[in-house]
Amino acid sequence: LHITVLENQGFQHGYASPGYEAAIQRDYREMFYPSSPAWRTQVIHDSRALLQQVLVQLAQVTTPPASPQRP
């Protein structure tokens, strides 16, 4: 929360120095997009798995029911 407050204050009122601005923006970005390669790899893996589930469900929802066969 503290980083969010600092980022907002800097955006609204300016930062005390360019170095301070860079540090706050780096920390703020890290909150939402961590620099850890392991985190990024896991997010890609999880996203692909979820997308596959969505595509399977979408195919089931959008496939029209088979029409009854006439004798």
What angle in degrees, to the nearest 10, is found between the helix axes of 18-32 and 2-13? 130
What's the rounded Cα separation, in Å, for the pair 34 and 20? 20
pLDDT of residue 57: 93
pLDDT tens, 25-69? Answer: 999 999 999 999 999 999 999 999 999 999 999 998 887 777 777
Q: Is 21 exposed, middle or buried (0-12, 13-18, 19+ CB in 10 A)?
A: middle
Can you give the pTM of this predicted structure? Answer: 0.61
Q: How many helices (H) and strands (E) does the chain have?
A: 3, 0
